Structure 1
Amino acid sequence: MAGRAGRTVRDLRRESRSSVLQRLYFDGPMSRHALGPATGLSSGSISNVVAELLTDGLLEEAGIVGADAGRPRRLLRVRPDSGRLIGVDVGETRVRVELFDLGLTELARAESLLGTRGYDVNAVVGHVHQGITEVLRASEGAPGELLGVGIGVPGIIEDTGEGGTVVHGQTIGWDAVPLERLLRLTGQLPPQVPYFIDNGAKTLGQAEMWFGAGRGARNAVVVLFGSGVGACVVTEDADQGRAVEWGHLTLRVGGRRCRCGARGCLEAYAGAEALVARWREAGGRASTGAGEERALTELLAAARPAGGADPDPLAVAVLDETARYLGAGLSDLINLFQPERVLVGGWAGLQLGTAFLEQVRAHALAQALRFPAGRTRIELGRLGPDAVTVGAAVLPLAAFLTRGGHRPGPTPSRTTPPTWRAGLESRLV
């Protein structure tokens, strides 16, 4: 039976369940009485939906309010153990896999270094497979069905429909890599368990938007500052955000060579890899064999020495120049998207910290148009350097909440034609 705007009764029921689940997830515990105004549903609908969700094991009682002032009201909340989620960060030096309950409490973690094979596709698929195996084994006996696996990767993401998700990662040498299909071929997970693959900056952005420094904002731009730089425009709805290849905005025509092969990209000046390289080129002395993360730590120690020692002028100059480059890049984001907030995250961004951010903020606000700049707050992210895995887990979580708490079903065969086609095949030209 069709309802308003062509929706069926089943659609309306799912939307009601989704509305109740989302309000309880983000704002709970709440009483049935409070759920009415919060969701816009009638008291009868609230009673029916809550009864269903309790029967399905998705809700639990969480205390009583109002016992001293009349009729007591029972509080409800989403049961954290009613589902499990996996988040994967295919990062710049390692692959990190985390298993969470529905409340995003970490249940298990596995990490593996990319090693000499780097971003070799088969090696990355192997790291992801190994990490998922380890976290599931470590959590054997933990309640809750696995609701999906979210994966954050570098590059541009394309949903090809029948072919699954494809990754175009020019900076890491991935050209139309069918990552979802390759993971499915391992046969590791049942076919009904969905994979959600998206840009790492976007997964970081969604985590900060829902649980971190973006909470309460209608929109934000989240910057991932690691070896390179990326950005994502995010909103309250997980499926509305989009990654932007901000790191490959041309900052200087004919400038330094970028990892993508072009010259003059922002990433060639402002990413941690480029920052350390410019320090070394200027005569900075990182430890022999120091990797990128250690070298950045040494650069910061040289620019801001402890114990009252004099700062290294080379390190100070490189950091000041990087702050100007990032400020220029952020001013473009402010002018283009006019966000309520700009949030800087990623391991390098958080390591550089508040003192560096003050410099970046001053340059960005000085160069951006006054009106959008006056409405934008620029802050550090709050979820730490591992936030990409949390954001990746948000992808299956968002799908689960949108489905109204219904579990993933078996994936229909992509080779079976729709029913209407069989009946009208002879008429098709």
Structure 2
Amino acid sequence: MAGLGGRTVHDLRRESRSAILQRLYFDGPMSRHALCPATGLSSGSVSNVVAELLADGLVEEAGSVGSEAGRPRRLLRIRPDSGRLIGVDVGETRVRVELLDLALTELARTERPLGPRGYDVGAVVGHVHEGIAEVLATARLAPGELLGVGIGVPGIVEDTAESGAVVHGQTIGWDAVPLQRLLRTAGRLPVHVPCHIDNGAKTLGQAEMWFGAGRGARSAVVVLFGSGVGACVVTEEAAQGRAVEWGHLTVRVGGRRCRCGARGCLEAYAGAEALVARWREAGGQPSAGADEERALTELLAAARPADGRESDPVAAAVLAETAEYLGAGLSDLINLFQPERILIGGWAGLQLGGAFLEEVRGHALAHALRFPAGRAGIALGRLGPDAVTVGAAVLPLAAFFSAGGHRPRPAPDTAPTPAWRTTVEGRSV
């Protein structure tokens, strides 16, 4: 039966379940009484839906709180053990896989270095499959028990009807890679287990907005600062966030060659890979065999020694120039989107830390228009290096809530026989 606006009773029920689950997740524990104004549902609807969620094992009672009438009200919360999620970060040096419960508490994790094959598609698909299998084995969990898998990747993600998520990662050599189809082909992940793929900067932004430094903001830009740089813009119109290729904004016409092939991109000056390369070109000498993360640590130690020694002028100059480029890039985000907050995350951003952030902030405010700059706070993200992985796990979690907490079901091997056919065949006997 169709309801208001063409919605069925089933749709209305799902929306009510979704509203209660989300309020309990973000604001719980809460009483049934408190859920009414929080969700806009009647007391009868709240009681009926809560009874369903308790029966489904998604919600549990968690103590009580007094009321003005003197009768205590029972508090409700989401059961953390009522579902399992996997988050995957296809990062710049490794593939990180984490198994989490509904409270996003880590249950198992594994990391696989990209190694000499780098972003070879077959190698990355293998790392993801092996990582998922390992964390499931550690937790003694069958793949079919998952609520879903979320994967954060570099590049632009296009959703297609034929192949699902297709990744356009120009800087890593991925040209229309049908990643979702490739991950399904091996058959290690049951078809009914949802698999969500999105840009890594967007998953970072999702995590910071849900659980980190962006919580409560109506608009924010979350910056992923690693080997390259990217950003996720969150506004009231795009509440789930929108990944933007901020790293490929041109900051110097005819400048340094970027990994994308163009010249003068912000990433060619401000990404950690470019930062270390510029230090080497200026005479800096990271230790033999140092990888990118270690070389960045050594650059920072040379520019800002902690033992009272004099700063290395070459390292300090490279770091100062990088802060200016990043600040100029942030000023463009401020002028374009006028966010309440700009949050800097990613392994390189977190490693450079607060002192570097002050320099970046100063340049951003100097380059941006005064009015939007005066309203934008600039800070480090709070979720640390696992933020992309946690944000990836949020993708299936958000879909689960949108579905009203209904679990994915295996597709039947054959289509069920229609009732009319059974009736007709019965009469013909």
Moved more, 299-308 or 250-259: 299-308
Q: Secondary structure at the match of 2:135?
A: helix
Asked if 1:34 is matched to 2:34, the reply is yes
- For residue 199 of structure 2, what is the aligned residue in structure 1? 199
CA distance in 1, matches of 2:142, 2:77: 20
Structure 2 unaligned residues grouped into runs of 5+: 414-429
Cα offset, 1:308, TM superposition: 1.4
One-letter code of the match for 1:336? L
CA distance in 2, matches of 1:85, 1:239: 22
Moved more, 239-248 or 314-323: 239-248
Deviation track 1:68-112 (CA, whole Å, cap 9, x = no partner) reads 971010000000011000000000010000000011000000111
Moved more, 228-237 or 33-42: 228-237
CA distance in 1, matches of 2:193, 2:142: 17
- For residue 289 of structure 1, what is the aligned residue in structure 2? 289
TM-score by length of 1: 0.94
Q: Confirm or deny: 8 A CA contact 1:88 1:389 kept in the other structure.
A: yes
- For residue 403 of structure 1, what is the aligned residue in structure 2? 403
CA distance in 2, matches of 1:411, 1:314: 61
Cα offset, 1:372, TM superposition: 1.1
One-letter code of the match for 1:278? R
Asked if 1:45 is matched to 2:45, the reply is yes
Deviation track 1:47-67 (CA, whole Å, cap 9, x = no partner) reads 001001111110000001117
Cα offset, 1:162, TM superposition: 3.0
Q: Secondary structure at the match of 2:384?
A: coil
Q: Confirm or deny: 8 A CA contact 2:222 2:231 kept in the other structure.
A: yes
CA distance in 2, matches of 1:248, 1:412: 46
Asked if 1:179 is matched to 2:184, the reply is no
- For residue 383 of structure 1, what is the aligned residue in structure 2? 383
- For residue 90 of structure 2, what is the aligned residue in structure 1? 90
Deviation track 1:176-233 (CA, whole Å, cap 9, x = no partner) reads 0000000000101211001100000000010000000001111211000000000011
RMSD of aligned residue pairs (Cα, Å): 1.8
Q: Confirm or deny: 8 A CA contact 2:136 2:143 kept in the other structure.
A: no
Q: Secondary structure at the match of 1:386?
A: helix
Cα offset, 1:23, TM superposition: 0.2
Asked if 1:105 is matched to 2:105, the reply is yes
Moved more, 101-110 or 300-309: 300-309
- For residue 125 of structure 2, what is the aligned residue in structure 1? 125
Q: Confirm or deny: 8 A CA contact 1:202 1:234 kept in the other structure.
A: no
Q: Secondary structure at the match of 1:385?
A: helix
Q: Confirm or deny: 8 A CA contact 1:81 1:144 kept in the other structure.
A: no
Q: Confirm or deny: 8 A CA contact 1:238 1:398 kept in the other structure.
A: no
Asked if 1:332 is matched to 2:332, the reply is yes
Alignment of 1:10-409 (within 5 A): 10-66=10-66, 70-140=70-140, 145-235=145-235, 240-409=240-409
CA distance in 1, matches of 2:306, 2:102: 43
Q: Secondary structure at the match of 1:176?
A: strand
CA distance in 2, matches of 1:141, 1:93: 28
Cα offset, 1:263, TM superposition: 0.5
Q: Confirm or deny: 8 A CA contact 2:144 2:190 kept in the other structure.
A: no
One-letter code of the match for 1:51? A
CA distance in 2, matches of 1:320, 1:99: 39
One-letter code of the match for 1:60? E
One-letter code of the match for 1:214? G
Cα distance change on mapping 1:24 and 1:235 into 2, 3 Å: farther
Cα offset, 1:374, TM superposition: 1.2
Structure 1 unaligned residues grouped into runs of 5+: 414-429
Cα offset, 1:326, TM superposition: 0.2
CA distance in 1, matches of 2:63, 2:143: 22
One-letter code of the match for 2:192? Q
TM-score by length of 2: 0.94
- For residue 3 of structure 2, what is the aligned residue in structure 1? 3
CA distance in 2, matches of 1:143, 1:294: 36
Q: How many residues align?
A: 413
- For residue 417 of structure 2, what is the aligned residue in structure 1? none
Percent identity, aligned pairs only, is: 83
